[in-house]
Structure 1
Amino acid sequence: MSSWTETVMWWHVYPLGFTGAPIRPTDEERDGGVVHRLPRIEGWLDHLVDLGLNGLLLGPVFASTTHGYDTTDHFRIDPRLGDDGDVDRLIAAARDRGIRILLDGVFNHVGREHPAFRALETHGPEADTADLFRVRWDGWSPGDRVDADVFEGHDALVALNHASPAVEDFVVDVMTHWLNRGIDGWRLDAAYAVPPQFWARVLPRVRSAHPDAWFVGEVIHGDAASIVRESTMDSLTQYELWQGIWHAISDGNLFELAHAIERNNELLAVYAPQTFVGNHDVTRIASAIGVDRVPHALAVLFTVAGVPSVYAGDEFGYEAVKEERLGGDDAVRPEFPDAPPSPEALSASAERILRTHQQLIALRRQHPWLHRAHTDAVHLENTSMVLRTATGTEAIITALNLGDGPVTVPVADARRVLAGTARLLSAEAEIPAGGFAVFSS
């Protein structure tokens, strides 16, 4: 039996930025006040469907101190976004449109303001929650700062003790609570920092009540296939392919992309990676490779195996550069209007990128076997490439031309142009300067 995860494609939203929430909760919000910003996302659900997508991947929505990844209550919606009623309505509205929902779970660490950690500052090693954290108590006295492990040097992000059964029970409770409320799965933030054995204990317990739930880990480096086997996660973020796409296109070195695709192929015997060309942590693809080259990146994303996602705004060619400084993510996490722009309000380039997204997403929807199919480079030069993604009976051919002039490339059994621009010449095709094309066999 096929799973819904074989045909899902995500629209990725960072809710705090998208809704224009302030970087810190106001005193009123900290004291129980709520600002109902989450319904603004509901106003974009029809746009998600119009793109051809059927999944909503939400960044952090739980109570936190600042950016959402310093969680202070996993059972409460951030008061800057709304309350339980708001999230219930969003889930119901998504369900009415056939949209799946993935929540972002930060289970490697919590914010220093989390009540469980504050209890340690008050009661020391005698606190009921002391076992939840990795703390050095030598020399500690009441009133002293608690010396705890933190995430990647960020003092505000206190690492959980993943050897503790109490942490295991806590994560199971959080995941199950929101799955019971109607979500479909979890993105596991900073999963690479958590021992795989922890997930291997937690996820089967959650699946016992929700066997159809899907779990994708944020993993930036490491032996991906081994991590999936050991952790029992369903998928991992495919940063290697993302990097291969934008480096190869930006540098005019498609050999790098061919290598990244070969590596992606190797993972398919174990799992289908979560693929993307943009997310809330990286420079916008239009800024990384140039607006005119965005269609090339999309052609690869939607014709190579995986579970694709579109970062909100990329479909309009939004531009922004991530900077390595405090607040350096702000530009790639902007506020959105209450509703999508009308077609006549779009620039020519934004309209072209939007239409390319719709065309390629539709192509992917019509060929669901692409989810797990291998891709071979059948022609490869620095600035031109032909990819063939195929099963035993079907094939999609993708041709890229980064050059300043037209190129004629071999396209084997290509019979019809499905997207882009090309002139078929028997077993070859002419791709215009700076163009791309996708063919069916």
Structure 2
Amino acid sequence: DYLLESVRRWAEGFGIDGLRLDVAYMLDRDFMRRLHTFTRELKPDFVLIGETLHGDYNQIVNDEMLDSCTNYECYKGLYSSFNSVNMFEIAHSLHRQFGGDPWCIYRGKHLLSFVDNHDVPRLASILTDKSCLRPAYGMLFGMPGIPCVYYGSEWGIPGEKGGPDGDWALRPALDEPAPNELTAFIKQLAHLRSADDAAARALNYGAYRNVVIQNKQLLFERAYDDATVLVAVNAVNEPYTFGAGELNGSFVDLLADDAPTVELPGSLELAPYEVRYLLRA
């Protein structure tokens, strides 16, 4: 009762819209059910997001408990795929979670996706090839889930876990913003997600399907109703040309200046480390 009344005070007195529950995998399940009912009565759209590290997220992300949880499986898959130059790893995780097969376990759920946070090394420190920052964020905003950007990482700042300062090395005080080209790219990706149009609906709610998987490149599809976006990622410092029947026709090049319409002949050329979002016209 004390905890629930504390939540009421935060919601009614300070206007919060949700809670992030630390170590949610260790919380009492009945308490989470009670918290869910209580917060829905406070605000119908109050959101509950839990920290989970492993296991079956469905056990606590469901209609009775939490709305979402941290997707540590795909966090590991993201940086590891770029470091090992093996896009099969992240492609497997994304299909296992969100693909179209009956055994894909998280279809229709919106897990919290991230490339770093306050508990793990900054992406700029854990990546072997720092040029992969751009394609890694392109993957993050293109894949299913709720993309979350940790403060300072939109500028590409480093941060190692451990050492004499412990985790506080990951949580520095920053004197002032330091935007750069990476910041502008992430801002562009965020605008695509937050728009009220067909591309945003596909990226936010669309089904996931692998189209072409290579060690160094990945092409996948996000489709929702009549909207289809193809996400193409090149993880290395060499050009690459995708070939696929899905790349035949007219597309809006969402990340290009002024989002032009392009005609593709069944293939797509990518520059080194390039990311393309293509909305079928």
Q: TM-score, normalised by structure 1?
A: 0.56
Of 178, 184, 189 in structure 1, the residue corresponding to residue 10 of structure 2 is 178
> Match of 2:78?
245
Question: Matched residues in 2 for 1:287 and 1:264: separation?
Answer: 27
Say how many residue pairs are matched.
Answer: 262
Question: Matched residues in 2 for 1:368 and 1:273: separation?
Answer: 17
Of 319, 325, 346 in structure 1, the residue corresponding to residue 158 of structure 2 is 319
How much does 1:196 deviate? 1.9
> Match of 1:361?
190
User: Against the structure 1 CA distance between its residues 275 and 335, is the aligned structure 2 distance closer, same or farther, given a 3 Å change threshold?
Assistant: same
Where does structure 1 lack aligned partners over 5 or more consecutive residues? 1-168
Question: Matched residues in 1 for 2:264 and 2:124: separation?
Answer: 32
Of 381, 404, 415 in structure 1, the residue corresponding to residue 251 of structure 2 is 415
| Secondary structure of 2:137 counterpart | helix
Of 123, 132, 138 in structure 2, the residue corresponding to residue 285 of structure 1 is 123
> Match of 1:271?
109
> Match of 1:332?
170
Mapped contact 2:123–2:133 kept (Cα < 8 A)? yes
Q: 4+ residue runs of structure 1 moved beyond 6 angstroms?
A: none
The Cα offsets for residues 137-160 of structure 1, whole Å up to 9 and x where unpaired, read as xxxxxxxxxxxxxxxxxxxxxxxx
Question: Matched residues in 2 for 1:392 and 1:229: separation?
Answer: 24
> Match of 1:147?
none
Question: Matched residues in 1 for 2:229 and 2:24: separation?
Answer: 33
| Secondary structure of 2:226 counterpart | coil
Of 42, 62, 84 in structure 2, the residue corresponding to residue 209 of structure 1 is 42
The Cα offsets for residues 260-282 of structure 1, whole Å up to 9 and x where unpaired, read as 21133145445211111121111
| Secondary structure of 1:192 counterpart | helix
% of aligned pairs identical?
29
> Match of 1:8?
none
What code does the residue aligned with 1:428 have? S
Question: Matched residues in 2 for 1:340 and 1:207: separation?
Answer: 36
User: Against the structure 1 CA distance between its residues 440 and 270, is the aligned structure 2 distance closer, same or farther, given a 3 Å change threshold?
Assistant: closer
Counterparts of 1:376-395 in structure 2, within 5 Å, are 376-395=209-228
Mapped contact 1:420–1:435 kept (Cα < 8 A)? no
Question: Matched residues in 2 for 1:228 and 1:212: separation?
Answer: 16
Question: Matched residues in 2 for 1:203 and 1:196: separation?
Answer: 11
User: Against the structure 1 CA distance between its residues 420 and 261, is the aligned structure 2 distance closer, same or farther, given a 3 Å change threshold?
Assistant: farther
Counterparts of 1:251-262 in structure 2, within 5 Å, are 251-262=84-95
What code does the residue aligned with 2:77 have? G
Question: Matched residues in 2 for 1:352 and 1:334: separation?
Answer: 22
Mapped contact 2:11–2:42 kept (Cα < 8 A)? no
What code does the residue aligned with 1:171 have? L
Counterparts of 1:388-403 in structure 2, within 5 Å, are 388-403=221-236
What code does the residue aligned with 1:170 have? Y
Counterparts of 1:153-192 in structure 2, within 5 Å, are 169-181=1-13, 182-192=15-25
Q: TM-score, normalised by structure 2?
A: 0.86
How much does 1:394 deviate? 0.8
| Secondary structure of 1:229 counterpart | coil
Output the aligned Cα RMSD.
Answer: 2.1
> Match of 1:121?
none
The Cα offsets for residues 341-393 of structure 1, whole Å up to 9 and x where unpaired, read as 4xxxx6xxxx2211110111112223332222222110011111111111231
| Secondary structure of 1:212 counterpart | coil
Mapped contact 1:244–1:260 kept (Cα < 8 A)? yes
Where does structure 2 lack aligned partners over 5 or more consecutive residues? 99-103
> Match of 1:434?
273
The Cα offsets for residues 401-426 of structure 1, whole Å up to 9 and x where unpaired, read as 123321110352462322269x9741
User: Against the structure 1 CA distance between its residues 222 and 415, is the aligned structure 2 distance closer, same or farther, given a 3 Å change threshold?
Assistant: same
Mapped contact 1:200–1:232 kept (Cα < 8 A)? yes
How much does 1:326 deviate? 6.2
